[in-house]
Amino acid sequence: MQDLVQLAQAHAKEAGFDLCGVTPVREFPQLAYFVQWVEEGQAGEMKYLESRNEHGELKRASLANAASWARSVIVCALNYNTDQPYSIEPAPSDRGWISRYAWFKDASQGKHTDYHDAVLRRLRDLEARITVAWPDPIRTWCYVDTGPVVERVLASHAGIGWMGKNTCIINEQLGSWLFLGVILTSVEIEHIPMPVADRCGSCTRCIEACPTDAIIAPYKLDARKCISYLTIEKRGEVPEDLRAGMGRQVFGCDICQDVCPWNGSVSEGHRAPATKAVEFQPRQELVDPSLEWLAQMSRDEFNQVFRGSPIKRAKYEGLRRNAAIAMGNSGEVRFIPLLEDMVKDGDPVMAAHARWALERLRAACS
């Protein structure tokens, strides 16, 4: 009988993935913690993580709850690292930070690239190749981020890497700048990959570097404190006690990955390799973007600039709110007139954050 693992790995390269592994479906012990994490409210406002099946069971708690027909999972990873700066390298104080996964444009088309599309296109290619090559009819489902699965747990069991203390999947050669995609299949496999050894060792850099203390213990992240969550998923007001820690992050946060030795740094003379994917070319205005530009952006400009970009998830109000917080944390008194205008904004959430930023800047220069 043909081997699904070999078949998937051979075709994954042709489909454009950097890594591919396969795990049989079983009860993964890490998913018990996922249930606890959700029940403790650590998922915050991300209600989609709490979706349940017709029996009221959390879909993400077990593949049996979400796709009882699935017998194996193909997990693929795509490197999105670039040669651009890291968030921990000095940047002008009037600039913000957008997480590197949202910088991209398709070099061939000059358009924004949403990584979901880039990964899904490759997954569908791989799915088609496997379906054609497999001797029997098989059932499959492709997911990139949006499915009822916890990709990181599946990736660790499929041999892609280990789950680091910052909860990202880390591969010894490629680091952790990895987009993950999964294909559930109805094919039974006996092969159980060797678990990838945890190479975090005694390192605690990510835990110490997180400005909002979101990594509450090794391998445990309270999403409600995570800057990625606060800048992208959180609607309305950001809790005041977390705003100072957000620094100049306006969309997402890369700090816990930037400090990771497996991703490297210039000072250490090593960097994780850059991606070969043509879609993942940085759009320069999004690398250290001007805070003034973001704060003064009209809704029409937002829709135009970020068409097809994951940044749209933060929404217009959210991105400007984040820019106000970043200006408050910048120490740049020249932002004061702009923030005074934003206090008069018709949106009370915007006005409240601008007021907070003004107070902070005035205190800094008094």
* 284 scored as a contact of ligand SF4 (CB under 6 A): no
Nearer to ligand SF4, 67 or 215 (CB): 215
Q: How far apart are CA 83 and CA 266, in angstroms?
A: 11
Nearer to ligand SF4, 45 or 198 (CB): 198
Nearer to ligand SF4, 232 or 259 (CB): 259
Q: Is 365 helix (H, G, I), strand (E, B) or coil?
A: helix
Nearer to ligand SF4, 185 or 228 (CB): 228
Query: Is 85 within 8 Å of 288 (Cβ atoms)?
Result: yes
* 196 scored as a contact of ligand SF4 (CB under 6 A): no
Q: How far apart are CA 166 and CA 6, in angstroms?
A: 31
Kindly state the smallest distance separating residue 168's Cβ from ligand SF4, in Å. Answer: 7
For ligand SF4, which residue of 24, 159, 164, 181 counts as binding (CB under 6 A)?
164
* 204 scored as a contact of ligand SF4 (CB under 6 A): yes
* 119 scored as a contact of ligand SF4 (CB under 6 A): no
Written as six digits, the tokens of 318 are 């959210």
**Annotation marks residue 18 as catalytic:** no
* 162 scored as a contact of ligand SF4 (CB under 6 A): no
Measuring CA to CA, which residue among 101, 125, 121, 123 is closest to residue 112? 101
* 68 scored as a contact of ligand SF4 (CB under 6 A): no
Nearer to ligand SF4, 71 or 165 (CB): 165
Residue 166 has φ and ψ, to the nearest 5°, of -85, 5
Q: Is 109 helix (H, G, I), strand (E, B) or coil?
A: coil
Which amino acid is present at 75?
A: V
Q: Is 309 helix (H, G, I), strand (E, B) or coil?
A: coil
Kindly state the smallest distance separating residue 34's Cβ from ligand SF4, in Å. Answer: 19
92: Cβ contacts below 8 Å, ≥ 6 apart: 288
Q: Are strands 220-221 and 97-98 parallel, antiparallel or unpaired?
A: unpaired
Kindly state the smallest distance separating residue 203's Cβ from ligand SF4, in Å. Answer: 3
Q: How far apart are CA 338 and CA 94, in angstroms?
A: 13
Sign of torsion over alpha carbons 291, 296, 302, 304: negative
* 259 scored as a contact of ligand SF4 (CB under 6 A): yes
Kindly state the smallest distance separating residue 260's Cβ from ligand SF4, in Å. Answer: 3
Place of tokens 């088309």: 109
Q: Given the residues 117, 145, 198, 345, select the one marked as catalytic.
A: 145
Which x/- pattern, by CB under 6 A, does the window 9-38 give for ligand SF4?
Answer: ------------------------------
DSSP structural state of residue 77: E
Contact region with ligand SF4 (CB under 6 A), list: 36-44, 100-108, 159-167, 278-286: 159-167
Q: Which residue is nearest to ligand SF4 (CB)?
A: 164
C-alpha separations of 258 from 26, 153, 158 in Å? 33, 22, 25
Q: How many residues bind ligand SF4 (CB under 6 A)?
A: 12
For ligand SF4, which residue of 17, 86, 262, 280 counts as binding (CB under 6 A)?
262
**Residues with active-site annotation:** 145
Interface contacts to ligand SF4, rule CB under 6 A: 164-166, 200, 203-206, 259-262
